[in-house]
């Protein structure tokens, strides 16, 4: 089944991977709605958008209802919205952990659930999460983020089985460090806490990738489009690592 004219929702669609993914689907012929918290960045993409906080289920449901009025039933959800914060485990508070879980895991649950009835009615759907290598392994000082992303992987595998006979597939994409504004903030955070230069901070992150480079947004975007193609119809419950060989 072609994705032409399929309605795609992309969360965190105003910048970085979300924006690249939204435009990749638009180029492939889909009808795209992007969601995010910041109206200015959403407007900059020149795509239909809804302002939405993925941690608030009521906000998600309202945004999806508004999107349906413009582009119809929802066939594909790319759960991309996320946040990463660094803190030693010994200093991590309940609020720190809850923030990582509510955005990175709860946001996926909310957005996938909001489109599920549309997909079941159509007998076809694609649930895709932009997870992370932090869902496949551990990293120091981001234990809350790792816990949330591991949760996304578990959710993906569970739903792949639960929905396997419905025509819906569920997958996650797990990139390593991607060259986005989020990466820039991570580098600044390392600089502020360690005193090392931005160049050396970047090198410490690059050493994880055997290809010695950061992942680019188009690599993630094109993978998401492929997962919605006919050739990927049996890819279900998979967590694709885009890492240059790290995992």
Q: Calculate the average pLDDT of the chain.
A: 94
Q: Which pair of structure tokens corresponds to residue 217?
A: 């947004």
The mean per-residue pLDDT over the stretch 206-228 comes to 94
pLDDT for residue 209 is more than 70:
yes
Q: What is the 3-class SS of 18-59, one letter each residue?
A: HHHHHHHHHHCCCEEEEEECCHHHHHCCCCCEEECCCCCHHH
Q: Grade residue 192 by pLDDT with cuts at 50, 70 and 90.
A: confident
Angular region, 182: left φ>0, alpha ψ -120 to 50, beta rest: alpha
The mean per-residue pLDDT over the stretch 163-191 comes to 89
Q: What share of the chain is helix, strand, coil (3-state, %, to 5)?
A: 50, 15, 35
Listed in order, strand segments (DSSP E) in the chain are 7-11, 31-36, 49-51, 76-79, 125-130, 168-175, 239-242
Q: Grade residue 35 by pLDDT with cuts at 50, 70 and 90.
A: very high
Task: Report pLDDT for 2.
Answer: 83
CB atoms within 10 A of CB 178: 19
Q: Which pair of structure tokens corresponds to residue 122?
A: 């159509």
User: Residues 29, 3: contact at Cβ < 8 Å?
Assistant: yes
Q: Grade residue 190 by pLDDT with cuts at 50, 70 and 90.
A: confident
Q: Which pair of structure tokens corresponds to residue 153?
A: 């992987």
pLDDT for residue 1 is more than 60:
no
User: Residues 171, 239: contact at Cβ < 8 Å?
Assistant: yes
Task: Report pLDDT for 74.
Answer: 98
In CATH terms, the fold of domain 7-178+215-242 is Rossmann fold (3.40.50)
pLDDT for residue 97 is more than 70:
yes
Q: Where are the domains of the chain?
A: 7-178+215-242
Q: Which pair of structure tokens corresponds to residue 18?
A: 């979300």
State the Cα–Cα distance between residues 22 and 80, nearest whole angstrom. 10
Q: For 135-164, write each residue's pLDDT tens digit.
A: 999 998 899 999 999 999 999 999 999 999
pLDDT for residue 17 is more than 70:
yes
Q: Which pair of structure tokens corresponds to residue 109?
A: 């649950």
State the Cα–Cα distance between residues 2 and 21, nearest whole angstrom. 17
């Amino acid at each position: 089944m072609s994705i032409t004219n399929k309605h795609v929702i992309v969360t965190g669609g105003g910048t970085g991977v979300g924006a690249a993914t939204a435009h990749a689907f638009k180029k492939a012929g889909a009808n795209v709605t992007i969601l995010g918290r910041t109206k200015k960045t959403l407007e900059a993409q020149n795509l239909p958008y809804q302002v939405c906080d993925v941690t608030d289920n009521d906000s998600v449901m309202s945004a999806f209802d508004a999107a349906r009025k413009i582009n119809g039933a929802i066939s594909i959800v790319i759960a991309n919205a996320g946040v990463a914060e660094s803190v030693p485990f010994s200093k991590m508070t309940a609020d720190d952990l809850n923030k990582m879980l509510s955005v990175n895991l709860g946001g996926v649950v909310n957005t996938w659930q909001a489109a599920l009835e549309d997909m079941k009615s159509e007998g076809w759907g694609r649930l895709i999460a932009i997870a992370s290598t932090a869902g496949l392994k551990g990293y120091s000082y981001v234990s809350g983020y790792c816990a949330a992303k591991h949760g996304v992987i578990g959710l993906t595998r569970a739903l792949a089985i639960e929905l396997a006979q419905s025509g819906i597939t569920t997958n996650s994409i797990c990139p390593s460090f991607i060259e986005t504004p989020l990466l820039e903030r991570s580098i600044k955070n390392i600089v502020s806490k360690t005193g090392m230069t931005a160049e050396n901070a970047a090198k410490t992150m690059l050493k994880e990738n055997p290809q010695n480079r950061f992942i680019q947004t188009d690599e993630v975007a094109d993978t998401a489009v492929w997962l919605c193609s006919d050739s990927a119809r049996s890819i279900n419950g998979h967590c694709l690592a885009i890492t240059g060989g790290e995992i």
